[in-house]
Amino acid sequence: MFRRRLIPALLLAVLLVLPSSASALAPAKLTAALNAQMRQAGSSSAAYVMELNGDDVLYSLRPDQALMPASVNKLFTTATALRRFGAAGTLDTSVVADGEIDAGVLNGDLYLKGAGDPTLTSIRVAALADKLDITRVKGKVLGDESILDALRGSAVTGGRLDPEIGGQLGGLVTARGYAGSGWQKRPAAVAADALRSALVKRGIKVSGKAGVGVAPQDAPELATSASPTISEIIQRTNVPSDNYYAETLLKDLGAAYGDGGSTKAGAQVVEDEMADLDVRPTIVDGSGLSRGDRTNVRQVVTLLAAMAGGEDSSAYLGSLAVVGRSGTLQYRMRSTPARDRCRGKTGTLHDVSNLAGICTTASGKQVAFAILMNYVNPSSAHVLQDRMVAAIARVG
């Protein structure tokens, strides 16, 4: 358990108000500062700090110990999405027709075909009606969610609805699958009904009702609605640590590059992609909610270093919360040298508190770090981590 040997409150207050121009910290003093905090975190905790120019290791404690990453796991998911789909890639929801169109009349069914877009809204679906050059649909309007499997929840719940995700997983889901204060019963049908209603509102007659179906593979495409770019989606995932986005992206990876749109298939794609970077985490889910996920601090820093040096570095680093400014780090380290100089990803379970990221120090060095603390009190762990990152930001 967490050892309660925290420094006196007055000394802590002094440390937290150090200005960003605080004197540079020499490597030996950095080691002493980090050791002082890690001694209080227990033996199920580890830390690794590396300067990116030259790969000099500035600090290492239990670098290869396998630990639960919690939401730091999202770093693997989003890195894979960025590398596979590309920063400018999109997840395009489309409208396809099963039948001939004669003088504006569709003699058959209209399909709304999902692409696993976690950002999809009923407003965007309705806007598709304006792109259709038809006057009547003699069939139904059907939602096709077949790109992903039908499991609405996470690996933690065996695929059952999981409130911790913050939505229903699926290939065609609007508003995260919420309906008022409850869940949509059939998300794909709800999306299809949004399209049907928009068509009727625009004076386009629709003979059939809205429902769910699978479009023929050769059905011609009539219109598309592009999601935000992958660059923006991973920012929406990492900055607030959005479980729903992460889990959907994982299934999307399985659908596009694996054996199908499932959590298991997506996890394999992430592991394969990370192996190319010589990083070998155990991936069970996309968000890090599963206690079966495992990584170590060396792997996390290796990933950060690879992404910082890659062609999509700005997109990836831009997806991390800014210390003292945004997301899960908005209220942390506000009066320390880490504010604005460090970006990071937090990870929290009831007995896990982690923090990883990159700092640009006052002297201009770029330093990657990972701090994984398991079987701790998260609130107490935050105190230790904040002191550590503030010290890292002062590296000379």
Instruction: Encode pLDDT of 123-171 as tens digits.
Output: 999 999 999 999 999 999 999 999 999 999 999 999 999 999 999 999 9
Task: Give the number of other CB atoms < 10 A from CB of residue 61.
Answer: 18
| 194/377 Cα distance (integer angstroms) | 45
User: Mean pLDDT, the chain, as a whole number?
Assistant: 94
How far is residue 6 CA from its own chain's centroid?
A: 33
Residues of the chain with CATH 3.40.710.10: 9-87+232-392
Q: Is the pLDDT of residue 177 over 80?
A: yes
- What pLDDT, on the 0 to 100 scale, is given for residue 181? 85
Q: Is the pTM of this model over 0.75?
A: yes
How far is residue 191 CA from its own chain's centroid?
A: 24
Confidence of residue 17 (pLDDT cuts 50, 70, 90): very low
- What pLDDT, on the 0 to 100 scale, is given for residue 55? 83
| 29/34 Cα distance (integer angstroms) | 9
Closest CA to 333 of 8, 4, 15, 9: 15
Q: Could you tell me the CA-to-CA distances from 241 to 178, 287, 320, 359, 364 in Å, in that order? A: 19, 8, 9, 19, 28
Task: Give the number of other CB atoms < 10 A from CB of residue 302.
Answer: 21
Triad 80, 270, 165: Cα angle to 5°? 90
The single residue listed with the structure tokens 């999902």 is 114
pLDDT tens, residue by residue, 249-290: 999 999 999 999 999 999 999 999 999 999 999 999 999 999
Using DSSP's 3-state secondary structure scheme, residue 252 falls into helix
Q: Mean pLDDT across the stretch 51-67? A: 95
Who's near 32: CB < 8 A, 6+ residues apart? none
For every residue of 152-178, which 3-state class applies, written as one string?
A: CCCHHHCCCCCHHHCCCCCCCCCHHHE
What would the CATH number be for the domain defined by 9-87+232-392?
A: 3.40.710.10
The single residue listed with the structure tokens 């939602």 is 143
User: Per CATH, the architecture of 93-227 is what?
Assistant: 3-Layer(bba) Sandwich (3.50)
Q: Is the pLDDT of residue 3 over 60?
A: no
Residues of the chain with CATH 3.50.80.20: 93-227
